């Protein structure tokens, strides 16, 4: 793709939709393309102790690694069971969603793999998509059928569950519980900084929505539309910063809609980062969690910001 990093400051790819966004924009920072060559990039996660980023290339059945010190990109895991979303638990272990395995797994310190969830009430999961870990150790994940609809992002299977659900796995007992079955294909999810709200993308509503639920222990309450998207707007994965802003992968609606859209804690749009391709998911990383990594369709991008990612993202 023909794309060139801006040599001028401020970078015109970073747009304020509201004056409040200016406090988060560093005028002497520009969007960088770190690598290109994937078929569908997803699920980035920052490993601070290794100074690297992992992200999924789902159709190519691999997880890639970008090294901060050298910029080198290598294969971290292949085959990856068409891994999608990643995060780290509060002990620093990598938690991953697998389309091919139809499961959520954890990579242990010794290199072994622990299956966190692969079924609910005796029925196979669809294809876990994205995952977050709460401070109490519980693991929350979405389970749409995107990985079982064909052979591009997984393997074709008939869904065994009647709904596309959101689940919670208890951090102490490992018991899996259903927390939401009223979402039309749940996708990306993230907690507010104080973990009182769980935001979830409803990816097959027309138009698409970002929902909000109040978190009441191991349950969700008070479903509401937090962000009602315009026709053609496509939110995917996202993360939240320490001020409660949502940094959302965005795109597939035409020119000017590909990139990252930023909403404040009240759900109002305040900023946009233009990319030349759809962005699927993001995470915060770097020494101070102030660098936004953007996993787009074919490429990996990054931008330094004047904010930090909330813990657990």
pLDDT at 255: 72
pLDDT at 256: 79
Single out the catalytic residue among 11, 89, 130, 236: 236
pLDDT the model gives residue 244 = 98
pLDDT digit of tens for each residue in the chain (313 aa)?
578 999 999 999 999 999 999 999 999 999 999 999 999 999 999 999 999 999 999 999 999 999 999 999 999 999 999 999 999 999 999 999 999 999 999 999 999 999 999 999 999 999 999 999 999 999 999 999 999 999 999 999 999 999 999 999 999 999 999 999 999 999 999 999 999 999 999 999 888 999 999 999 999 999 999 999 988 889 999 999 999 999 999 997 777 789 999 999 999 999 999 999 999 999 999 999 999 999 999 999 999 999 999 997 6
List of domains in the chain:
14-304 (2.120.10.30)
- Measured CA to CA in angstroms, residue 87 lies from 45, 140, 246, 312 at distances of 6, 11, 17, 8
Is 192 exposed, middle or buried (CB count within 10 Å of its CB: 0-12, 13-18, 19+)?
A: middle
Residue-by-residue DSSP string for 16-37: ESSGGGGGG--TT---EEEEE-
* Sequence ranges of the binding site: 42, 129, 187, 236
Supply the pLDDT for residue 254.
72
Listed residue (303, 305, 306) closest to 294, CA to CA: 303
User: Does 236 qualify as catalytic in the annotation?
Assistant: yes
Q: What pTM, to 2 d.p., does this model score?
A: 0.97
- Report how far residue 152's alpha carbon sits from residue 19's, in angstroms, rounded to the nearest whole number: 42
∠ CA 120-160-114, rounded to 5° = 40
pLDDT of residue 22: 96
Q: Which residues are annotated as a binding site for a divalent metal cation?
A: 42, 187, 236
Here the tokens at position 12 are 């015109």
Are the CB atoms for 261 and 272 separated by under 8 Å? yes
The DSSP bridge partners found for residue 190 are 199
What pLDDT does residue 1 have?
59
**Would you list which residues are annotated within the binding site for substrate?**
129
The pLDDT tens digits for 133-180 are 999 999 999 999 999 999 999 999 999 999 999 999 999 999 999 999
Give the Cα separation of 39 and 236 in Å (integer): 16
């Amino acid at each position: 793709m023909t794309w060139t990093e801006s040599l001028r400051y401020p970078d015109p790819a970073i747009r304020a939709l509201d004056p409040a966004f200016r406090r988060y924009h560093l005028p002497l920072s520009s969007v960088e393309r770190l690598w290109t060559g994937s078929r569908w990039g997803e699920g980035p996660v920052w490993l601070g102790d290794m100074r690297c980023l992992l992200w999924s290339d789902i159709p190519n059945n691999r997880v890639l690694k970008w090294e901060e010190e050298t910029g080198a990109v290598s294969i971290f895991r292949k085959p990856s069971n068409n891994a999608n979303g990643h995060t780290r638990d509060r002990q620093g272990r990598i938690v991953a969603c697998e389309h091919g395995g139809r499961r959520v797994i954890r990579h242990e310190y010794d290199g072994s793999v622990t299956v966190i969830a692969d079924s609910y009430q005796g029925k196979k999961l669809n294809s876990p998509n994205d995952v977050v870990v709460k401070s109490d150790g519980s693991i929350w994940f979405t389970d749409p059928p995107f990985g079982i609809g064909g052979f591009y992002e997984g393997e074709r299977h008939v869904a065994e569950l009647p709904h596309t659900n959101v689940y919670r796995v208890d951090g102490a007992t490992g018991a899996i519980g259903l927390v939401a079955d009223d979402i039309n294909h749940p996708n990306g999810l993230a907690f507010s900084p104080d973990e009182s709200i769980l935001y979830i993308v409803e990816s097959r509503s027309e138009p698409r929505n970002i929902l909000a639920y109040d978190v009441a222990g191991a349950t969700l309450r008070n479903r509401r539309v937090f962000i009602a998207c315009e026709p053609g707007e496509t939110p995917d994965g996202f993360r939240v910063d320490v001020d409660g802003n949502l940094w959302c992968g965005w795109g597939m609606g035409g020119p000017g809609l590909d990139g990252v859209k930023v909403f404040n804690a009240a759900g109002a749009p305040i900023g946009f980062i233009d990319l030349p391709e759809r962005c699927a998911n993001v995470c915060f990383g770097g020494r101070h969690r102030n660098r936004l990594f953007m996993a787009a369709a074919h490429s990996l991008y990054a931008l330094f910001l004047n904010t930090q990612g909330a813990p657990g993202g």
